[in-house]
A and B are shown apart, each in its own frame.
Chain A
């Protein structure tokens, strides 16, 4: 099913020209807050300790989402098994390892400590159909050159049909202007120069997919997927050295697929003139004692397959210059405008002390002395730990 909706942003642009319509940011304020329980429960066919996350909805103004703690969580199946879950670090973890098996019906039960009870409808495991491959290839999309991560899958029985994807990308970052000497502030507030730790030179960044990635083969003659999961522009710094992506393919039931489709539709850009009717999205979990107790989420019993690939920038773009770094790494100095030092040769006013205290800059070269300037760069250029982790992930292979 392709996107039959108008391309909303462009409608908007057209209207600006033709009719000066206008869209502006609207302050996010929760006029009347109603708390609801949010359940993230995806049970797969992987044998492991399964996880369920229970959180509370929050006001827009709130900084974070509070976990729903102290609840009793368990899953039953139609063979009389019960899998209990134990609260652990804001999650509920199954007390034993188990996996969903085909043709068995699973049901989720939640009893919160304030007496609300919820139950899911019985769900069975979806078709098991691992994806065939994940590829990375240089491609142009909308006149932008870059790398496409495509997922290929096929089910000769045409039983899988509804696919949902998640990915987690990890990339190596090499700090471009790392120096063996670093500057710090002494307790008295003066600059001191120390030997730099090599730990700030190489880091690993990581991002999870935020979009709900869905594809279905319902209107295709074959149950064949060639899905563009991720497109990275060749100007994106994350590809500069080595890049890895872990893709998870979930085969969904029609009801679960519809739930995710609607969630995506409701959170997506609006058609200006005929907006989608929003509303409370009902999943397969319901209160057993009071229908006014709102609950969000879908108890998803799904087959999963995972695949990880790596590539180096140099392999895909041989001989091509690296993409620009995450920030501009031109070095600069601090000068006194009254002495005619700004804007030439220095672009920054006064001393680096304040910026250093705020973590904006790292030392690059030159010692501040009579007639000469010290040179500085934006903090990420000299220290990747300012925005990424220097701990090498356990799965990482170079």
Chain B
């Protein structure tokens, strides 16, 4: 019974995760490099996105005053990474606020309240609003203004490879170790056979249908002669 309740809860959370916000257009972002914007972390250190090159990066756009989803996302990522127990120097997590009205104080409070203290986890904000929206456009992250306190947004993580190129998105509210493992694997360039061929199935199938139609027509013409 408790297992059934767990499944139902997961299903409900999954539905709500997919049901929020405007999904990014992956065909425009995968394989591109987000703009090299300047960020400031909660220690006051200034850095650029390019400074994180050299290992996979997990981008987590959130807003600190979020009453629900962003807290669940950050806590689940923290828990999943603890379970995976990967070496700290094998990846970086960058949690940043997409709300231009939030800065160091809000992000520091968010980091403190949710204990995002791993050495490879940076909690930051983009001080320049133009640069912030360039970064959001670069990952096609669109949020909806509901009120000063509340924004609707997609629940996602973006995985960059060691060169800073967008390689993968994971969607959800409660991220699992499997999701993070898959994202980091793809960010390392390790694809399964299915991941390599899945993008080609539709165009190959469409071409097959057209070719079959043409072949049937030509065949019937020959037979009718």
- Are A and B bound to each other? no
Where the two chains meet, the residues of A that have a C-beta atom closer than 8 Å to any C-beta of B are none
